[in-house]
C-alpha cells in the first residue's frame, strides 16, 4: 500500500465527511435565527413554518428559479420562498396591494439578508401579473381565494410548473376547488401535508 503524506491523509479523511454534511451558510444561519425569533409572532399568523418548509422543499426538488408570490403580507412566506431560491440561484417577485405591508415586508427582507433575491411590487396582482416577464416556475397564491389570480398567472407557468393556493382545506371553497379539478391541463393535489393545494401544469391548454 502506498504511504500517505499528511496533507493527502487529511483530504482523504475530511472529503467524505464534508460531502455528507449539508452545507450551512451564514445566510442560512441568519434566516433560521430570524424565523426562530419570529415564531408565533407573525401578524395574522396563518402561515406556518410547516408550510414554509414544504414550499422550500418543492423549490429545491424541482430546481425552480422563477417564483411569483401573490399576497406578500408582512413577508413570512416570502422569506421561505427566497431562502429556497438562494439555493437554486433564483429570484422571487412578491406582490402586495397594501403599501404599509409592502414597507414592513421589505424591512424584514433586509433583516434576513434576502432582499437581493426579492423584488417587492406594491400593486394589485390582477393588474401586474399580465405585465410581468414570463415564464414562471412556481406561483404561490396567498391572497383571497379567487379564480381571477389563477387565470391571470397560470398561462405564464411552464409545463411542470406549479400554482399553489394557500388556505384550501378539504374541498373548500367548493367552487374554486371544482374549477381547479375541471382543468385538463392541470393536476391538482390536496394531500400536500400543508395548508394548501398544488396545481401542476401538465400541458399547454
Ligand X SMILES: C[S@@+](CC[C@H](N)C(=O)[O-])C[C@H]1O[C@@H](n2cnc3c(N)ncnc32)[C@H](O)[C@@H]1O
Q: Which residues bind ligand X (CB under 6 A)?
A: 44, 47, 70-71, 73-77, 95-98, 101, 124-126, 142-144
Beta carbon of residue 67, minimum distance to ligand X (angstroms, whole number) = 13
- Of 82 and 180, which CB lies nearer to ligand X in the complex structure? 82
d(CA 31, CA 111): 9
Residues contacting residue 121 through CB under 8 Å, at least 6 positions apart: 93, 94, 95, 96, 128
Sign of torsion, CA 142 144 147 148? negative
- Of 125 and 157, which CB lies nearer to ligand X in the complex structure? 125
Residue, CB closest to ligand X? 73
Beta carbon of residue 150, minimum distance to ligand X (angstroms, whole number) = 13
- Of 97 and 180, which CB lies nearer to ligand X in the complex structure? 97
- Of 77 and 188, which CB lies nearer to ligand X in the complex structure? 77
| Strand arrangement, sheet containing 91-96 | 118-122, 91-96, 66-70, 136-141, 157-166, 196-201, 186-189
d(CA 148, CA 129): 11
- Of 95 and 114, which CB lies nearer to ligand X in the complex structure? 95
- Of 35 and 187, which CB lies nearer to ligand X in the complex structure? 35
Beta carbon of residue 23, minimum distance to ligand X (angstroms, whole number) = 27
Beta carbon of residue 4, minimum distance to ligand X (angstroms, whole number) = 53
Q: Which three cell numbers stand for residue 125?
A: 396582482
Beta carbon of residue 100, minimum distance to ligand X (angstroms, whole number) = 10
Beta carbon of residue 140, minimum distance to ligand X (angstroms, whole number) = 8
d(CA 152, CA 68): 12
SS3 120: strand
- For the chain, helix (H) and strand (E) counts, in that order, are 8, 7
Return the bridge partners of 95, or none. Answer: 70, 121
Amino acid at each position: 500500500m502506498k504511504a500517505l503524506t499528511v496533507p493527502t491523509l487529511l483530504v482523504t479523511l475530511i472529503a467524505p465527511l464534508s460531502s455528507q454534511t449539508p452545507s450551512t451558510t451564514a445566510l442560512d444561519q441568519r434566516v433560521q435565527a430570524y424565523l426562530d425569533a419570529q415564531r408565533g409572532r407573525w401578524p395574522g399568523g396563518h402561515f406556518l413554518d410547516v408550510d414554509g418548509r414544504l414550499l422550500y422543499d418543492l423549490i429545491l426538488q424541482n430546481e425552480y428559479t422563477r417564483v411569483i408570490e401573490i399576497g406578500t403580507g408582512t413577508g413570512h412566506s416570502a422569506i421561505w420562498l427566497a431562502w429556497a431560491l438562494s439555493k437554486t440561484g433564483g429570484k422571487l417577485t412578491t406582490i402586495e396591494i397594501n403599501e404599509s405591508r409592502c414597507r414592513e415586508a421589505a424591512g424584514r427582507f433586509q433583516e434576513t439578508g434576502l432582499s437581493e433575491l426579492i423584488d417587492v411590487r406594491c400593486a394589485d396582482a390582477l393588474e401586474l401579473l399580465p405585465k410581468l416577464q414570463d415564464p414562471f416556475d412556481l406561483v404561490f397564491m396567498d391572497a383571497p381565494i379567487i379564480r381571477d389570480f389563477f387565470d391571470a398567472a397560470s398561462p405564464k407557468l411552464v409545463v411542470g410548473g406549479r400554482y399553489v393556493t394557500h388556505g384550501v382545506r378539504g374541498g373548500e371553497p367548493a367552487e374554486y376547488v371544482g374549477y381547479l379539478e375541471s382543468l385538463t391541463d392541470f393536476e391538482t393535489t390536496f394531500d400536500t401535508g400543508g395548508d394548501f393545494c398544488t396545481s401542476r401544469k401538465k400541458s399547454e391548454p
